Each structure stands twice: as C-alpha cells, then as structure tokens.
Amino acid sequence: MNDAALVSCHDGRVRCAWCAGNADLTSYHDTEWGFPVADDYQLFEKLCLEGFQAGLSWLTILRKRDAFRRAFAGFDFVKVARFKTQHVDRMLADASIVRHRGKIESAIGNAARTKSLVDEFGSMASYLWRYEPHSHRTPPTTVSSPEAHALSKDLKRRGWTFVGPTTIYAFMQAMGLVNDHAPGCVVRPRAERACRVFRRP
C-alpha cells in the first residue's frame, strides 16, 4: 500500500486513497497502519498475514483476521511452532481462513524461526527494528526499499518463507518502521508523533 494519492472521505477528512470507501480499511488505516509496534506476537501475526495475503487483497485478509487468530492460537509463536500435521489438516478444512497448505506450513515453520530470533536477539522486535530506515521519508514510488530487501534476504537466510521484499515492505509500512501515510493524510501527523515517542526495542 504505497499509493500516495489522497481522497476526501465521507467524514470530510483527507486520507490515503487506498482506504477510501470501506469502513474496515478506513478503521485499519486510522488506528493501526503506520503506527510503531514492538510486541512480538503482533509482529509475528503481521508477518504471517502478509504471507497469506500474497495474491489476495489486504481487505480479504483483514476480514478473516479474527478467524486466523483462532486458528493460529492467537499467533503465539511458541504454540504455533508445536503444530503438527493434524493442525494443518484442521486448518485446511476451515473455510473461515485462507486454505493454502504452503502458506499454513510456512507460518508454522516461521514460528519456530521466530523462537530462534528471540533466543538470539532477546525479542523479535529487537531484530526487526534494526532494519528501520534512518529517515522516515515521503512515500516511495516503488513497493520495496533497500531495508526491505536486506531484511527479506536475512530472513530467507535464516530459513523463513513467504518473506519476499514486497511482502516485507508491506509489513514495514504496517508496523510503523516506515511512515507511508501520504503527505496531507490526516493520520500522517499522528503516526509521526507515535514514531517520535516510540521506544525502540
């Protein structure tokens, strides 16, 4: 989501165009997207959901997020890392989530790798925030960045899957590592303030 265009919404406030016309997207844009996160479970959840989004719209995943949370034990990566074949089979039969064996197995495998990151760095957040850009520039015209490429490359080196640079950049946008609210968006100043006071892990 890096469309720099703006739109005046139903309430008269100017927002990033990608969230216009849908209440779920608008709420997500106003309260979550671009605000910094240091909670390991939220970070793991978002990386998983970005992987599930591949080939789909974010709205599809957002509307299924509660179902994903139920299926993946609240994205407790310690629990997910212990999932077995029967858990995969159960989720493949669950129409409330995206039933894609490769993505389900990827999330389980990535949970084990999250545990390794926590062991090495003290927290997943400590590892991920090392890739925050030095400056929060205005939205780019591409769907990635050098930092996203570097993070993607290192995650793949560590055995992660479904973490290409485009997926990782979307994750960085959502978790506040970059502030890609378009200049003029009503939410951008709030996201900037949140970033300024955010205590990096």
Catalytic residue list: 28, 50, 58
Q: Are the C-beta atoms of 36 and 193 separated by less than 8 Å? A: no
Cα 176 to Cα 51, 89, 101, distances in angstroms: 18, 34, 30
| Structure tokens, 40 | 């390991």
Q: What is the C-alpha to C-alpha distance for residues 164 and 107, in angstroms, rounded to an integer?
A: 14
Question: What is the enclosing helix (H) or strand (E) of 89?
Answer: helix 85-92
Cα 93 to Cα 83, 87, 100, distances in angstroms: 15, 10, 10
Write the CB contacts of 158 (distance below 8 Å, at least 6 apart in sequence). 113, 116, 117
Tell me if residue 108 falls in helix, strand or coil. Answer: helix
